[in-house]
C-alpha cells in the first residue's frame, strides 16, 4: 500500500513538473512569437493567416500536449501574444503620432488574440478533427477584426 502511495505521489510530482515546464514554454512563446513573425508578415502581407497558423501550431504541439489546464494555457498564450504584439506596435504609434492607437491596441487587440486562440482550441477539445475548423474560424475572426478596426 505504501508503495502505491509513493508511486502515485511521484506521478503527481512528475505531472506537476511537466505542467510547470509547459506553462513556461507557453509564456515564452507567447512573448517571443510576435517578434519572430514580423519579417514573415512583412514578406507575405497576410498577418491574419501567418499569426493564426502560428497559433494553430502552438495549440497543436504545445497546449494540446498539456495534461491539464489547456483552456487556461490558451488564454495565457493569447493574452501574451496580443500584449507582446501591442508593445512592439508602439514604435509605429510613436512614428505616426496617434496615441489613441495605444488604447485601441490594448483594449481590442489583446482580447481578439485570446478569442482566436480559444477558437482554435475549443473545437479541438471536442473532436481532434475539428482543429482545421478552429484554424479557419480564427483566421476569419482575425480578418473581420482587422476590417472593422
Exposure pattern of 30-48 as b/e (b: 16+ CB <10 Å)?
bbebbeebeeebeeeeebb
Sorted by sequence, the CB contacts under 8 Å of residue 45 that are 6+ apart come out as none
In the numeric block, which cell numbers belong to residue 36?
519572430
Q: How confident is the model at residue 89 (pLDDT cuts 50, 70, 90)?
A: confident
* Angle at CA of residue 124, ends 48 and 138, nearest 5°: 15
Residue 6: the pLDDT is 52
pTM: 0.89
Residue 99: the pLDDT is 80
CB 130 within 8 A of CB 123: yes
Residue 124: the pLDDT is 97
Average pLDDT over residues 118-125: 98
Which one, of 61, 51, 69, 68, lies nearest residue 117 by Cα? 51
pLDDT over 90 at 105, yes or no = no
Q: How confident is the model at residue 131 (pLDDT cuts 50, 70, 90)?
A: very high
Residue 101: the pLDDT is 80
Question: How far is Cα 15 from Cα 7, in angstroms, rounded to an integer?
Answer: 12
CB 29 within 8 A of CB 58: yes
The predicted-structure confidence for 19-71, as pLDDT tens digits, reads as follows 999 999 999 999 999 999 999 999 999 999 999 999 999 999 999 999 899 99
Amino acid at each position: 500500500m505504501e508503495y502505491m502511495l509513493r508511486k502515485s505521489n511521484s506521478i503527481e510530482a512528475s505531472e506537476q513538473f511537466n505542467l510547470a515546464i509547459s506553462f513556461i514554454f507557453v509564456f515564452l512563446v507567447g512573448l517571443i512569437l510576435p517578434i519572430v513573425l514580423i519579417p514573415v508578415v512583412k514578406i507575405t502581407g497576410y498577418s491574419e493567416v501567418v499569426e493564426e497558423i502560428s497559433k494553430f501550431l502552438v495549440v497543436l504541439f504545445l497546449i494540446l500536449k498539456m495534461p491539464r489546464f489547456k483552456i487556461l494555457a490558451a488564454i495565457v498564450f493569447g493574452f501574451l501574444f496580443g500584449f507582446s504584439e501591442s508593445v512592439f506596435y508602439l514604435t509605429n504609434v510613436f512614428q505616426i503620432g496617434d496615441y489613441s492607437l495605444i488604447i485601441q491596441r490594448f483594449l481590442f487587440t489583446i482580447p481578439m488574440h485570446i478569442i482566436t486562440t480559444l477558437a482554435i482550441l475549443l473545437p479541438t477539445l471536442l473532436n481532434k478533427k475539428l482543429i482545421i475548423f478552429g484554424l479557419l474560424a480564427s483566421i476569419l475572426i482575425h480578418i473581420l477584426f482587422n476590417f472593422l478596426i
